[in-house]
Amino acid sequence: MSEVGRGEPFAIDLAATFRAAVGGSDSHHRGTGQHSHGRDPSAGPQDVGPKATQATTQVDSPQTPRVIDILRSYTPSLLTRVQLASQAKSVLSRILLCRTPTLKGHLYECPECHSQCNVYNSCVDRHCPQCGGARRANWLEKTEQLVLPTVNYFQVVFTLPAQLSALILGNRCALYDLLFHSAWRALDETLRDAGQFQPAAQLVLHT
């Protein structure tokens, strides 16, 4: 497939975000032909995203609901019952619009049969279940290359007191750096004092 078009940046308000994600109309029209080399080029572009997924599941056997499906189903009623923080609303707005026509996308065309396919843009929010999966898989693949045979690995978690949350939120870079250095120093000194280990660690921030 070759890319023949790209979506433009978007600007929306929060109310429009939820309306578009849950019940908005599709700005692209899907063709009725099969997505194959024998497909009629005049049938129009096919969609890759939640609209296409819903259409596919109506024909195929029922599938297990995804996290994004549950969010799109229940977020509107949640907003009528619960007063969410602005940060939570912002995250939800991006997640709900992930891979939807509102975020625009790319139009690809097969050079052989000239069939077209719309691939909608990702929200790239770190909380998104659709975007995060690929990043986690890539991280795990790279990390596996660092794992050495016949070496035992352990997970150690360092937790900060809740009383420091406000201080950390206002000084993230400095205090995250201090946390990493302090955690490694404590771990390194403890294992070396045992006299049986040459410690090494890979530190990952969990929030």
By residue count, the chain amounts to: 207
- Tell the residue number behind the tokens 């410690």, with chain if given: 199
Report the run of H or E that residue 1 belongs to, with start and end: none
The string of pLDDT tens digits covering residues 42-59 is: 444 545 555 554 444 444
Q: Quote the tokens at residue 117.
A: 């396919």
DSSP class of residue 142 equals H
**What are the residue boundaries of the structural domains of the chain, listed by start?**
2-133, 149-207
Report percent pLDDT > 70 for the chain: 70
Q: Which residues contact 123 (CB under 8 A, 6 or more apart)?
A: 94, 95, 97, 98, 99, 103, 130, 131
Q: Does the model's pTM come out above 0.85?
A: no
The string of pLDDT tens digits covering residues 86-132 is: 888 888 888 998 988 888 899 999 999 989 998 889 888 888 888 87
Q: Tell me the angle at which helices 86-97 and 14-23 cross, rounded to the nearest 10 degrees.
A: 40
| Three-class secondary structure of residue 182 per DSSP | helix
